[in-house]
Amino acid sequence: MKNVLLAAACLLLGGAAAHAQNPAATESKALQQRINQLMRNPAKPQQELRLDLKGCHATQTIRDNKADVQASAPISVSYNKGGEAGWAAKVSDGKFELALDFEWSEVEPLTYLRRKPEKGKDEAPYEIKIRRVRKGNTTNFELPLYTTDEKAVLDVVRRLEKVRQGCQ
């Protein structure tokens, strides 16, 4: 019985030590889950907006499996030069996907905007503004946040900014 308890204690301590050794990965995963939760549009459950965080690399994906698109043949277009961040788009009947890759080292300090959605329009109350500057080329894009809680938005922006600053 002592051996079983000792083995269980070692497993628990080993798991806790492994968890403690990589707090950045744990925070990144928690931040990713929180952002993806806030980007989910309750009025469009078939639409998926994701931000995948992998160290100093991120991918924003917009996917709609019930999109109002028609194509005689599937279309797929992408751009990626020399392993640098790029983009890809796929369209087929009823399906749309757009992915934008970027490195946090190319992103300027983050800002956010509170919008007052127009009546009858399905707009996110907040959006995080991302401005990527690379070799004279500037790309601006947003992460829509479907919440009215400004404290939640500020928390996400603060945590993302910490990731960005850690990659400079």
Q: Would you give the DSSP letter of residue 110?
A: P
Predicted structure pTM score = 0.77
pLDDT in tens, 76-129: 888 876 666 688 888 887 888 899 989 999 999 999 999 887 777 778 999 999
- Residue 146 has a pLDDT of 95
pLDDT in tens, 34-81: 999 999 999 888 899 999 999 999 999 999 887 877 777 888 888 876
Query: Is 82 within 8 Å of 146 (Cβ atoms)?
Result: no
Cα distances (Å, whole numbers) of residue 119 to 39, 116, 126, 166: 20, 9, 16, 40
Question: Please, which pLDDT band fits residue 21 given cuts at 50, 70 and 90?
Answer: low
pLDDT in tens, 117-126: 777 777 899 9
